[in-house]
Amino acid sequence: MGRPRTVVITGASSGVGLAAARAFAEAGDRLVLAARSRPALDAVAAQCRAAGAPVRVVTADVTRPETLDEVAAAAVAEFGGVDVWVHTAAVMVYGRFEDVPAGIFDRVVHTDLLGAAAVARVALARFRAQRGGVLILAGSLLGSIVAPYMSAYVASKWGLKGLVRSLRQETRDAPGIHVCLVAPGAVNTPIYRNAANFAGRVGRPPPPVDPPEKVARAILRCARRPRAMLTVGAADLVTRVAFTALPGLYDLLVGPLMRAGGLSREPVAPTPGNVLAPLPASTHTVHGSWGRQRLPRPAGAVAALGAVALTGALTGALTGAVVRRLGGRGRRR
């Protein structure tokens, strides 16, 4: 193990951010933890200190960029700089686009996309000053595909993926600076139950569901050996292929799959969730209430039908391409 690093984590109070804080603490690093809820941060800090990590806590809101300057200043004052900045803060809203209040939609985009941009602005300024550093932004499978009832989150994660690509291009003149995207699929965190909701049913991660510790390990690997993009999730590749290669079939199946696997049967009244303000500290846990799940029977039937159709379509497309290629060669002779 090398020298201890100084790691800033924005969004450290729950879910993947909390799991990452624990992982870096166990690796012997120094931590600056930031989020909106001070009580939740203090609880995370106690866990990390118990693992032997020096910890500084800063209350910050990514929709208020001046608070991020305070986070960077605290890291410099306490530990002399920032080696790694991990950004996991995000909020979510469920509901048809027409049913989601404009203020809630805008705040999700502000938090998840513009907040990430604000973090990147502060982190890159610090990295330029010290000629190096690793910025890790938490993306999502929903930055590469689309699902209904989550339009604000999808728009934000697609924008984030483009932002990361641009930042990587713009920092090619600084070989010591690395900008990375860690993009998980469904993860068992509290974000689904804490989300704003105008869909009438509590959201849930569609199976298969990974534990947040798996994503935290990916973030730790990325901090040690930076990569442009690191995906986490067993089903992600198949989903991306279906979305790209067979958009018509994907759009046909994604609605029923989302209603069966992405929305629970538990009713919920319209709520802003934690979009506008943090919820009580008791909701700031590393795990959600979902665990590892299999698709329910209706969704399993749809998924099986989709898999058969997808396999057949891909096979047919591949066979057709080979036949056309061989036919073209024969005519040239």
Query: pTM of the full predicted structure?
Result: 0.87
Q: Which of 92-101, 177-186, 272-281 has the lowest mean pLDDT?
A: 272-281
Domain boundaries, the chain: 6-236+263-294
Per-residue pLDDT of 267-316, as tens digits, reads 999 999 999 999 886 667 888 877 544 444 444 444 434 443 443 444 34
Q: Decide: helix, strand or coil at residue 34.
A: strand
Torsion of the alpha carbons at 47, 48, 52 and 56, rounded to the nearest 10: -130
> What is the number of other CB atoms lying within 10 angstroms of the CB of residue 295?
17
Percentage of the chain with pLDDT > 70?
A: 86
**Is the pLDDT confidence value at 23 over 90?**
yes
**What was the pLDDT predicted at 243?**
94
- Can the peptide bond before residue 208 be classed as cis, meaning omega within 30 degrees of 0? yes
CA dist., res. 37 & res. 12, Å (int): 10
**Of 228, 286, 227, nearest to 23 (Cα)?**
286
Residue given tokens 């986490």 in the structure block: 232
The residues assigned a catalytic role are 153
Q: Which of 12-21, 90-99, 194-203, 284-293 has the lowest mean pLDDT?
A: 284-293
Give the distance from CA 153 to its chain's centroid: 10
Check: CB of residue 235 under 8 Å from CB of residue 226. no
Using alpha carbons only, give the angle 152, 154, 159 rounded to the nearest 5 degrees. Answer: 95
Q: Decide: helix, strand or coil at residue 127.
A: helix
**Of 222, 225, 100, 217, nearest to 154 (Cα)?**
100
Q: Decide: helix, strand or coil at residue 242.
A: helix
**What was the pLDDT predicted at 328?**
53
| Orientation angle between helical segments 297-332 and 236-245, nearest 10 degrees | 60
Residue type, position 113, single letter? L
Give the count of alpha carbons within 13 A of 64, CB side only: 12
CATH 3.40.50.720 is right for the domain spanning 6-236+263-294: yes
CA dist., res. 191 & res. 203, Å (int): 9
**What was the pLDDT predicted at 327?**
53
Tokens of 249: 């079939």
**Is the pLDDT confidence value at 98 over 70?**
yes
**What was the pLDDT predicted at 234?**
79
